[in-house]
A = this chain, B = another copy of it.
Amino acid sequence: MDAVTVASGNAGIIANEASANTTQREAEFDELRLSGACDAAAETSAIIRDMLDRVADKWSLLIIGALSEGPRRFSALHKSVPGISQRMLTHTLRNLERDGLVSREVFAEVPPRVEYSVTELGETLIVPVSVLARWAVVNRDTILAHRDLYDARQDAGL
């Protein structure tokens, strides 16, 4: 871990060089990061938590992932994201649209057709999501093994 540790809390974790997601807004980012370590730690934690609550729910990232390959209509998306209910697909798409991460285009046809696609802002999420998804796939077996081991020890300890 070659991170530049700041003070305490969750400010340090975002200060390392992740070698990805380089945008034109990093100036603002650095400004925020340096605006006093103690305050920023709590504030940054809140920011991360807020954004995470919005984007790291059960379906948002998977929808972004499915949409990252190109525009999809509602029913196609329904199939591309296995296990999602109609209700949650609608709901999650609305939230993503509200946050400007996906755009919704309605075609005045019959039968009605609605296409969803990731916006430019949504595109910026794809790299972070990819990294996390990659981690999930690579480390799944290891985590499951640890979990089983832990549970076995618990049972033995009774």
Let me know if A81 and B45 touch, CB within 8 A: yes
Q: CB < 8 Å: which of B48, B133, B142 contacts A137?
A: B48
Given the known A-B contacts A56-B52, A82-B9, A99-B143, are A1 and B66 also in contact in the complex, defined by CB atoms under 8 Å? no
Let me know if A49 and B68 touch, CB within 8 A: no
Q: How many residues of A contact B (CB 8 A)?
A: 84
Let me know if B98 and A146 touch, CB within 8 A: yes
Let me know if A45 and B25 touch, CB within 8 A: no
Residues in B whose Cβ lies below 8 Å from that of A147: 98-100
Q: How far is the CB of A137 from chain B (nearest CB, A)?
A: 6
Q: Which of A24-80 contact B (CB under 8 A)?
A: 25-26, 28-29, 32-33, 41-42, 44-58, 61-62, 64-66, 68-70, 79-80
Residues in B whose Cβ lies below 8 Å from that of A58: 49, 52-53
Q: How far is the CB of A130 from chain B (nearest CB, A)?
A: 5
Let me know if B13 and A129 touch, CB within 8 A: yes
Let me know if B127 and A18 touch, CB within 8 A: yes
> What string of 1s and 0s marks CB contacts (under 8 Å) between A131-143 and chain B?
1111111111111
Let me know if B20 and A51 touch, CB within 8 A: no
